A = this chain, B = another copy of it.
Amino acid sequence: MGSSFKKIVVKQYWAKTVESILSSPVSSIRGISDGDAAKLDDAINVKTVKDLAENRYFHGAKAVLAATNQPNFDPGPPLEWVKVFDSAPDYTSKWPDKFRWEFGPIFYRGRLDGAARILIVGQDPSTDEALSRRAFVGRSGQRLQGLLRKLGITYSYVIVNAFLYSIYGQFDHEMEAISTDPLVMDYRNTLCDKILSENPIEAVLTIGAGARHAVQHWPHPSNLHVSNLVHPSAKTKLVLNNWNQELPILLQIIKPEIGVTPDPTPYTLEWKPSDYMDIPRRDLPFGVPSWFGTQGTKSHRDGPKRIIWEA
Contacts and interface: CB of A to CB of B under 8 A. Distances in A.
Interface stretch (A73-81, A228-236, A269-277): A73-81
A182 interface: no
A53 B154 CA distance: 24
A42, A43, A86, A103, most chain B CB atoms within 10 A:
A43
Contact of A39 (B43, B55, B288): B43
A310 interface: yes
Identical copies of this chain, number: 2
Given A39-B39, A308-B306, A64 B5 contact: yes
A1 B259 contact: yes
A29, A62, A306, most chain B CB atoms within 10 A:
A62
A115 B5 contact: yes
A97 to B, nearest CB: 16
A264 interface: no
Contact of A3 (B198, B255, B304): B255
A93 interface: no
A9 interface: yes
A14 B105 CA distance: 36
Contacts of A64: 5, 8-9, 18, 21-22, 49, 53
A143 to B, nearest CB: 23
Given A107-B287, A308-B306, A52 B43 contact: no
B133 A1 contact: no
Contacts of A55: 58
Interface of A: 1-9, 17-19, 21-22, 26, 29-32, 35-37, 39-40, 42-44, 49-50, 52-58, 60-65, 67-73, 75-77, 79, 82-83, 85-86, 102-107, 114-117, 131, 133, 156, 198-200, 255, 257-259, 285-290, 302, 304-311
27 contacts: A3-B255, A4-B67, A4-B257, A5-B60, A5-B67, A6-B200, A7-B60, A17-B258, A22-B64, A22-B68, A29-B60, A37-B43, A49-B64, A53-B58, A53-B64, A65-B79, A70-B79, A72-B82, A72-B86, A76-B76, A76-B286, A131-B131, A133-B286, A302-B308, A306-B311, A308-B308, A308-B309
